[in-house]
Structure 1
């Protein structure tokens, strides 16, 4: 009898241990693993899948140049990968960090190779050293940097410049609803009609964000105080004009140049392009991106004194999220409780 099992379990009664599985059972379990992996891939957002594919392509190119197999992800090769991306390709810090994560996921998922945590840690430490040295040398920042937050004042100017035709109704609804649910590009593109329902008591909308990098969330969106910036009224106007009826169709659709609303939805990239173009049309100096409505909502809510837990419920962040901290710091750095220079007598 196995010493690790309770004494009352005789050999005939106890469950089989993994080492005792026969070939038939191992094959069944392997098939279940494969089916589970395929199901998980089917549920993964398209933009995440594309990112992983791009990261893996970069890794395979690197491995070909070093003439090593793609599974040779050791401490040395991971550090060399960081050096390759930083020195030879001039990639941004965040891009390299993401590619390390993408390579790790693909190796684990497709090859059963689990990277040593200390090895990946050493690669990221090297990346931090490169960033520190670049800052000390006053090198220009790499990449686009963080998306500028679309504050309420800018949002008001932008939606005022949206036309009253079908294009303007869609763009206005997308901007205001995207701001209200702190949406990522893919989240707006992924919304179906069934995900946006009117509150039974007439308080506004219940928006079920199902396509997300994190867990799905439901955001209660109330009527706005100003009809011009009310997300509920903007959505209702667009839905009526677009004649959206099928609950499984996309909430935001492509529009033909003639003004005819198409049955197909729009891509996350197109969502970002619409937001950027709307900002440019209103002549806002900041170059807004698809992420700007998300960061704008978190920034404005914090400035209005909303609790970070309430903000996290809208954004989908964990209350202790470091990313959410970044939004909070935009406001908190001028708060008397968080700025050590305020109120000390200067």
Structure 2
């Protein structure tokens, strides 16, 4: 019976262990890693790349002052980095948190160093302590704060003030489609004509948001009840007036002072400027930013009773996202189920 047992596996029959890789195989694997890193960088939105570069520049200046290597990201140096940004540079808490994330990404990507989670947790706990002390001392808030949400009633006023020339047609389409997509500045700037498709059954548009801070998403945009604020009609008018045809070119373009539509797209910064200017043109006493259409859509959808999962599909958030919670709280704080005081007094 023992004669029927399979023979023990020979060393040549099993997969090689990493320690057994030869130099040629290691070189091939390193080339694959490099290609993967390049592919990820190429797909990463431009504003994210710029943010990481800015974060690393700040980290470099900090390390030079302490005369420590750039790779010395220990618990002590990360906490000292937070102190440096809060005390010396007086940065906003959101900026400091983002810079910690940016340094972490660059160390992992360029140096193969993964930060210890407990170390980064300690740095962020220190940041929370600074925030708490600042609040207790009633210090002025740092940074710009959250972008004001563009409510639907205000959006109506803003698009009504957009002119009927080519500039106004573009701005109206950008505002309404941006609201419908809960779009970030970079997402609107990154849209290509091929990303916006008419639904085959005539329900509206299918918009593939491929340039995103998080993950790409497809948003079904239906026709609006009011033609004046319908994102589908506004988009179709823009395409017709601008004579957009090349699917590989940008959906929203620069326009010459003469009114001629240019082949090049507009930058994320320009998207924000257009949204801010549109609000000012309508004499709205709020300084809207590029993020206002995004926060406005999430807030207004919640006010209308839409399910948070449905909202998350449009915004691209995870259903349990803390950022999405921030939008929800604006509305839910007055709801009977979420406010323990409702009906008590």
- TM-score w.r.t. the length of structure 1 is 0.97
* 2:338 alignment counterpart: 338
* 2:3 alignment counterpart: none
Deviations 1:301-346 (A, max 9, x none): 11001111111111111111111111111110000011000122x1
* 2:321 alignment counterpart: 321
Matched position secondary structure for 2:320: coil
* 1:123 alignment counterpart: 123
Q: What CA distance in whole angstroms lies between the structure 1 residues aligned with 2:47 and 2:272?
A: 13
* 1:145 alignment counterpart: 145
* 1:233 alignment counterpart: 233
Q: What CA distance in whole angstroms lies between the structure 1 residues aligned with 2:219 and 2:109?
A: 33
Matched, 1:30 2:37: no
Q: What CA distance in whole angstroms lies between the structure 2 residues aligned with 1:109 and 1:270?
A: 30
Q: What CA distance in whole angstroms lies between the structure 1 residues aligned with 2:340 and 2:225?
A: 36
Alpha-carbon spacing, 1:8–1:224, altered in 2? closer, same or farther (3 Å): farther
1:177-326 correspondence runs (5 A): 177-326=177-326
Matched position secondary structure for 2:107: helix
Unaligned runs of 5+ in 1: 1-5
* 1:164 alignment counterpart: 164
* 1:15 alignment counterpart: 15
Q: What CA distance in whole angstroms lies between the structure 2 residues aligned with 1:304 and 1:31?
A: 52
Unaligned runs of 5+ in 2: 1-5
1:45-124 correspondence runs (5 A): 45-124=45-124
Deviation at 1:27, TM superposition (A): 1.1
- TM-score w.r.t. the length of structure 2 is 0.97
Q: What CA distance in whole angstroms lies between the structure 2 residues aligned with 1:118 and 1:232?
A: 48
Deviation at 1:38, TM superposition (A): 1.1
Q: What CA distance in whole angstroms lies between the structure 2 residues aligned with 1:79 and 1:318?
A: 29
* 1:3 alignment counterpart: none
Deviations 1:261-298 (A, max 9, x none): 00000000100010011011111111111110011001
Alpha-carbon spacing, 1:8–1:209, altered in 2? closer, same or farther (3 Å): farther
Deviation at 1:39, TM superposition (A): 1.2
Deviation at 1:164, TM superposition (A): 0.4
Q: What CA distance in whole angstroms lies between the structure 1 residues aligned with 2:195 and 2:247?
A: 8
Matched position secondary structure for 2:218: strand
Matched position secondary structure for 1:208: strand
Q: Stretches of 4+ moved more than 4 A in 1? A: none
Matched position secondary structure for 2:12: coil
Deviation at 1:10, TM superposition (A): 3.2
Deviations 1:31-56 (A, max 9, x none): 11111111111111100000000000
How many residues align? The count is: 340
Q: What CA distance in whole angstroms lies between the structure 1 residues aligned with 2:12 and 2:233?
A: 68
Matched position secondary structure for 1:124: helix
Q: What CA distance in whole angstroms lies between the structure 1 residues aligned with 2:220 and 2:56?
A: 39
Q: What CA distance in whole angstroms lies between the structure 2 residues aligned with 1:324 and 1:8?
A: 56
Deviation at 1:111, TM superposition (A): 1.1
Q: What CA distance in whole angstroms lies between the structure 1 residues aligned with 2:65 and 2:325?
A: 40
